[in-house]
Amino acid sequence: MFQIVDEFEKTMADFYEAPYAIATDSCTHAIELCLRFKGFNEINIPNRTYISIAFLPIKLNLKWSWSKKEWSNYYYLGNTNIIDAAVYWKEGGYIPGSYMCLSFQFQKHLSLGRGGMILCDDYESYKLLKKMSYDGRMPNIPWRDQNIDLLGYHYYMTPETAAIGIDKFNQVKSVVPRKWVWSDWPDLSQMDVFR
């Protein structure tokens, strides 16, 4: 059943020209997995981004600060090689050496209602992030038949979502995407929840 997820991962990796892709249930969870995997202790977050990204350092108990740097289509989480590319759609657009996190939320260019993906260029990272997203287990093998050796999270993409992604991909792959900029989001640093 999960072979369709592998197919969707390959489709997106080929489109972005990334060696590997790991499908997740959301871009926020993709970024969270990367932060956990890389073990960063301190990051900065754009003051203008989606609110769930600003909640991540609090959730993960990281030291953090706001960045007021303007960005367009994607940005690096400061002090890391993790890229929030939730709104970025570009053939061949993978940036080598990065963990580029995509979104397929309903407002995105490839709209699946929900879903995310991590693009990377290192096989060991791919293998461990894939296991982390699947409750610490390898997909396509019953978990009871595995010796789980890694703390995992229930952040995998469902086969149903991946099937929609494959169906819609050809419809949107050559459509010019919307350009997103930092000013499309409110200044999160002014919200009471962050004071």
pLDDT in tens, 128-143: 999 999 999 988 788 8
Q: What is the pTM of this model?
A: 0.96
**Torsion from C-alpha of 9, 11, 17, 18, nearest 10 degrees:** 10
Task: Report how far residue 195's alpha carbon sits from residue 191's, in angstroms, rounded to the nearest whole number.
Answer: 7
In the 8-state DSSP scheme, what is residue 134?
Answer: B
d(CA 67, CA 45): 6
- Which residue type occupies 147? N
Distance (Å, whole) CA 28 – CA 74: 14
* CA-derived radius of gyration, the chain: 16
* Mean per-residue pLDDT pooled into runs of 10, the chain (195 residues): 93 98 98 97 96 97 96 95 97 98 95 97 97 90 88 96 96 94 96 95
* CATH code, 3-194: 3.40.640.10
